[in-house]
Amino acid sequence: MSKLFEPKNLGNINIKNRLVRSATAEGASDEDGQIRDEIIDIYRDLASGGVGLIITGHAYVHPPGRCSVNQMGIHRDELMPGLHRITDCVHSIAPECKIAVQLSHAGRQAAPNSVSDPVAPSSVKDTATGITPREMTEDEILECIGCFADSAERVKKCGFDGVQLHGAHGYLISSFNSPHTNRRADKWGGTPENRMRFVVETYRSVRKKVGDDFPVFIKLNAYDFVDGGIEIEESSRIAAVLAQEGIDGIEVSGGMYESYRGKGVVRMRIRKPKQEAYFLPYAEKIKQAVGDVPVMLVGGIRSTSVMNEILDNGYADFISLCRPLIREADLPNKIKQN
Catalytic residues: 171
Residue 312: how many other CB atoms lie within 10 Å: 10
Q: Are strands 98-104 and 162-167 parallel, antiparallel or unpaired?
A: parallel
DSSP 77: G
Question: Could you tell me which of 176, 243, 198, 253 has the C-alpha nearest to residue 216?
Answer: 243
The answer to whether residues 163 and 214 touch, using CB atoms and an 8 Å cutoff, is: yes
- For residue 113, report the phi and psi dihedrals to the nearest 5 degrees: -80, 0
CA distance 61 to 209: 15
Residue 318: how many other CB atoms lie within 10 Å: 24
Question: Which ranges constitute the DSSP H helices of 158-225?
Answer: 172-177, 192-195, 197-210
